[in-house]
Structure 1
Amino acid sequence: MDGVATVGRGPRARGPRRRGTTGALLAALTAGILLAGCTVGGPNDNGRGSDEGRRDDRISAPPAGSLLAVKIDNVRAARPQTGLDAADIVYAEQVEGGLSRLMAVYATKFPETVGPVRSARESDLELLRQFDEPTLAFSGAQGKLLPLIDMAPLHAKTPEDAGDAFFRGDEKPAPHNLYLRPEKLIDSPPGTDALTTGFHFGPAPDGGTPETSRTVRYPAARFTFTWSDDRQRWLVSMDGTPTITTDDVRVAPATVVVQYVTIRESRFRDYLGNNTPYTETVGSGRAEVLRDGRAFEANWDRRTPTDGTAFTAPDGRQMNFAEGQVWVVYAKA
């Protein structure tokens, strides 16, 4: 389309995926994992993690073209966060106890520091399959999940195997004080070609409904996006408090996607007995796209884990996002 910039065209925008030595075993295992809905959480969610069952032959040093995804703490004690404003995409998901956690995705630029870094969830493996061997930075995970992370087509990096890239700050108590220096993991950001998510950027579609504020609620967390005419962006607030980074920058994406998905109970619980939700990001359903001070009804579709998520208008036309940061908030369908 004339005048439309496209960021990524699905998972093969950069050529065939490299599967390494695990090949068919990985594909079969991952499919079984996702169907079973195994999740994470537990006593290792403390910034240390566990090396139980970790493989020695997992993907090692991230290549120069590797996209970086960082799991970011989002309880009140973890705020303000660092480096959140520099992300290309921020995913918000529900975790134990109805709380929320963020995954920040970096491809066009790396901030000096990102954090606080927290633990991974099994849903992350499904979400990240749409990218070509991304690097996932996290603090740890439940022991039973770590071998599955190691077998996934990504570069898993924790303080245990990339100690130079992580450090503890002194302004927050543990476990809310673990930070990452991205350039200690990857020499330089890979660029927009790494964003193989199916997102498309360009002029706004016709129609839409004027929108000044939108709130998405989880059982114990909420996100509010307020339109700013001055900035032409959505100002983020979380749990009623403006989201401002440690560098005193108000987080303000150009596009907010409220994506309605299945969030179901898993078979696993954390060490407090809370069930770990599993967010299904493969499938199809309804979404709302907020851009330019308007709300647009949309449909989303992701047919396999290696596909990007495509968003279309009700009439089937491609749904364009506004240029700039995108927030995707997973809401229960």
Structure 2
Amino acid sequence: MEKPARTGRSAPGAADRRTLLRTALAAATTVGTGGALAACGPGGDQQQDASPFTGERRRGEHVLAVKVDNVAPARPQTGLEHADIVYIEQVEAGLSRILAVFASHLPTTVGPVRSARESDIELLRQFGEPALAFSGVQSALMPTLEATSLHLLPPGELTDGYTRDPARRAPHNLYLKARRAERAAPDASAPRDIGFRFGAAPGGGHRTERETVRYPAARLTFTWSPDRRGWPVAMDGAPARSRSAGRLAPATVVIQYVTVRRSRFHDSSGSVTPYTETVGSGDALVLRDGKAYDAHWSRTSANGGTTFSDREGRRLPFARGQVWVVLVKKD
């Protein structure tokens, strides 16, 4: 059963040692990914001061990741239209959950907020030391989370950073005050290169109007809209909307085929928690500007970013704007 998260307070000596370790890890990771300079990728028209997450001019100061519920009672969600990157991952019983990454724009609220998973640790390491907001976690996983360099922001730690919507029933009614969360994690990493490149549409690819991704008990459909210059999303056959901004429509969608295996955890009903591996390599499909591009993804270490290349090995540029990365089990 998931239990409310705790973060614990280290003794002064332990806190100092952890700070030094975080600093060393951050320095090593920046060198490994090429740092902020890598945001100006080769051969493209990407600006050096642009966001490494969206390719747009506004970068933001800190990275805030939020675990967001994605079952039917949680929809429509709040604040997702402001996310730089939206990751979709499989959870228990074949359902899906969202990890939304914010930096350039912080909404007033985000949610509904739900619990973290072990896979999030590996996925988030490429961002350095981001803040992570989540509602709870299995008690056996909490020590592992606490040992990371993530800035953990569960309700027990950020008591004035969450609010409940009385119009919705628990557990689908907990919302994060995103700006309060950012203030609570002033040492969270700034946006940096995680492997994405942005620029004009490359040659090749094939025209497509619609692509569907299926999980065992969920599905997402992306339909190209020339008027929106994006891919309006449907979840389980219904339009995916924000409570404040209407239909969600990312500029780029990455369907990333990964290994999804059993983890050592399970939920209260006995369903095993999947572990989504995001270090390695494999196939991907990149959707932008009404076309689909076959791609290869590679991430050689957890501290490094994920590169996407075409079949000739050239970096594949994304369209500027919000990016959705759908992590789906490879055949």
TM-score where L is the length of structure 1: 0.81
Q: Distance in 2 between matches of 1:193 and 1:203?
A: 26
State the partner residue of 1:185.
Answer: 181
Q: In structure 1, which of residues 232, 238, 243 is the aligned counterpart of residue 240 of structure 2?
A: 243
Equivalents in 2 of 1:249, 1:294: separation in Å?
24
Q: Is the 1:55–1:147 Cα contact (8 Å) retained in structure 2?
A: no
| Distance (Å, rounded) in 1 between the aligned partners of 2:245 and 2:265 | 38
Is residue 2:329 matched to residue 1:328? no
Cα distance between partner residues in 2 of 1:192 and 1:156: 13
TM-score (norm 2): 0.82
Q: Which blocks of at least 5 consecutive residues in structure 1 are unaligned?
A: 1-41
CA displacement 1:198-257 (0-9 Å, x = unmatched): 101111111101010000000000000000011111001101110111114211000000
- Please say if residues 120 and 141 of structure 1, whose CA atoms lie closer than 8 Å, have aligned partners that are also in contact: yes
Q: Describe how 1:270-289 pairs up with structure 2 within 5 A.
A: 270-289=267-286
- Structure 1 counterpart of 2:265: 268
Q: CA deviation at 1:65?
A: 3.9
- Structure 1 outlier segments of 4+, above 2 Å: 57-60, 187-193
How many Å apart are 1:196 and its aligned residue? 2.9
Instruction: Kindly indicate whether the alpha-carbon contact (under 8 Å) linking 1:67 and 1:189 is maintained by their aligned counterparts in 2.
Output: no
Question: Shift in Å at residue 148 of structure 1?
Answer: 1.1
For residue 301 of structure 2, the aligned residue among 285, 298, 304 is: 304
| 1:26-74 alpha-carbon deviations (Å, 9 max, x no partner) | xxxxxxxxxxxxxxxx342xxxx143xx4313779xxx94300000000
Structure 2 residue identity aligned to 1:233: G
Q: Which of 125, 128, 131 is equivalent to 2:124?
A: 128
Partner of 1:202: 199
Looking at structure 1, the residues matched to 248 and 187 of structure 2 have their Cα atoms a distance apart, in angstroms, of 23
Q: CA deviation at 1:264?
A: 0.8
Residue 292 of structure 2: SS of its match in structure 1? strand
Question: In structure 2, what is the Cα distance between the partners aligned to 1:114 and 1:108?
Answer: 15
Question: Per the alignment, do residues 271 and 277 of structure 1 end up closer, same or farther by CA in structure 2, a change over 3 Å counting?
Answer: same
Aligned to 1:82: 78
Contact (CA 8 Å) 1:109, 1:189: kept in 2 or not?
no
Are the equivalent residues in 2 in contact too, given 1:86–1:111 (CA < 8 A)?
A: yes
Corresponding residue pairs, total: 283
- The answer for the alignment partner of 2:226 in structure 1 is 229
Q: Aligned partners of 1:81 and 1:262: how far apart in 2?
A: 28
Where in structure 2 are there 5+ consecutive unaligned residues?
20-59
| Structure-2 residue corresponding to 1:318 | 315
Percent sequence identity is: 54
Match of residue 38 from structure 1: none
The equivalent of 1:104 in structure 2 is: 100
CA RMSD of aligned residues (A): 2.0
SS in 2 for 1:234: coil
Indicate the larger mover: 166-175 or 68-77.
166-175
Q: What is the SS of the residue equivalent to 1:164?
A: coil
Aligned to 1:164: 160
Q: What is the CA–CA distance in structure 2 between the aligned matches of 1:267 and 1:244, rounded to whole Å?
A: 34
- Kindly provide the CA deviation profile for residues 155-193 of structure 1, in whole angstroms up to 9, marking residues without a partner as x: 000110101111111121000000011111214999996
Counterparts of 2:68 and 2:275, CA distance in 1: 18
Question: Partners of 1:276 and 1:142 in 2: how far apart?
Answer: 11
How many angstroms apart in 1 are the aligned matches of 2:264 and 2:189? Answer: 37
Q: Identify the residue that residue 30 of structure 1 maps to in structure 2.
A: none
* Counterpart residue number, 1:56: 9
CA distance in 1, matches of 2:84, 2:245: 19
In structure 2, the residue corresponding to 1:260 is in which secondary structure? Answer: strand
**Closer, same or farther: CA 242–189 of 1 in aligned 2, 3 Å:** farther
State the secondary structure of the residue aligned to 2:270: coil
Q: Distance in 2 between matches of 1:204 and 1:282?
A: 27
1:326, CA displacement in angstroms?
A: 0.2
Give yes or no for contact 1:108–1:189 (8 Å, CA) kept in 2.
no
The residue that corresponds to 2:290 in the other structure is 293
The Cα offsets for residues 73-120 of structure 1, whole Å up to 9 and x where unpaired, read as: 000001110000110000000000000000000010101110000000
Question: For 1:105 and 1:249, how far apart are their aligned partners in 2?
Answer: 19
Are 1:71 and 2:67 an aligned pair?
Answer: yes
